[in-house]
Amino acid sequence: MLEQKTFSEKIKNYALKIGFHACGISKANFLVEDAVFLKKWLDQDHEGEMAYMRNHFEKRTDPRLLVENAKSVISVLLNYFPEKQLHTEDQYKISKYAYGIDYHFVLKDKLSELLSFIEELCGKRTSRIFVDSAPVLDKRWAQKSGLGWIGKNTCLITKEQGSFFFIGEIIIDLDLDADEPIEDYCGSCTKCLNACPTNALVAPYRLDARKCISYLTIENKDEIPDRYKNSFNKWIYGCDICQDVCPWNKKAIPTLIPEFKPSDDLTQMKNEDWQNLEKGKFNNLFKNSAVLRTKFAGLKRNIKFVSD
């Protein structure tokens, strides 16, 4: 037990050393309550066109089906809060998480470094790294690992710096000392629910993705429904409204990760530049960016929707 505790402390300390904001550990067990919640959410079709949410249901709620003999889930947070917002209120907006290089690259590299350290410490293990690209309930594992709580806006929130974090995991066949979850500190606050212009937060802790601006500008492949005209507040890729109004994000501190800083070309974009955006410029602006997910045609659709 002493060795297990020592390994756990060394892993968490090394994670902080290489730039993660926080690291926590939970036991790799079946998520009973989440299985019930997820089934109800899917039964209500709240996932919209994200059909992949219906795939691998059992794996999504049981990490032992993803990694043979899994014992622990190591969760990490990486801060992406920018030093300065790209936009003013009357300018077109993209979500803060997409200002710099696609987080998948940055987070995977850091998790690989952490896994190498673990194997130097404990020997070769059976493990997998996960960065929002497999059937893993990232926020729930981070919550179980004591890194924060899942707020009424369905984001993971930390007491120290709010919610502008990327989440990643290492699921591993190593028995480690698990952390305890912390309590929910949302209290009676409903600012996120009240601020959502499309009423996507249909209840505290429940998001109907089909109404969410982030979903409609990224995951949605069809035309944006006309009923949302004048509701987007000039968001053309993603949306941060429910995070921006959260009181806990008053504590947000700018990231020290250089890859998450916007390029000079992106910071200089004005509304006219967005409206006249051509594919060559799009490719240069968003090389290795998360914005590529919506593709050029999708971004032009979003710009036209908020311009008309």
Active site residues: 132
- Tell the residue number behind the tokens 């404990």, with chain if given: 122
Inter-residue long-range contacts of 32-37, CB under 8 Å, 24+ positions, other chains counted: 34/61, 34/137, 34/140, 35/61
User: Residue 137's CB: how many other CB atoms inside 10 A?
Assistant: 21
Tokens 């916007």 correspond to 262
Whole-Å CA distances, 256 to 15, 18, 21, 135, 286 = 15, 11, 10, 29, 21
State the virtual CA torsion across 107, 109, 110, 111 in degrees, nearest 10.
Answer: 80
Q: CB 88: neighbour CB atoms within 10 A?
A: 8
Residues 25 and 72: beta-carbon distance below 8 Å:
yes
> Measuring CA to CA, which residue among 279, 105, 294 is closest to residue 217?
294
Q: What CA–CA distance (Å, rounded) separates 273 from 282?
A: 11
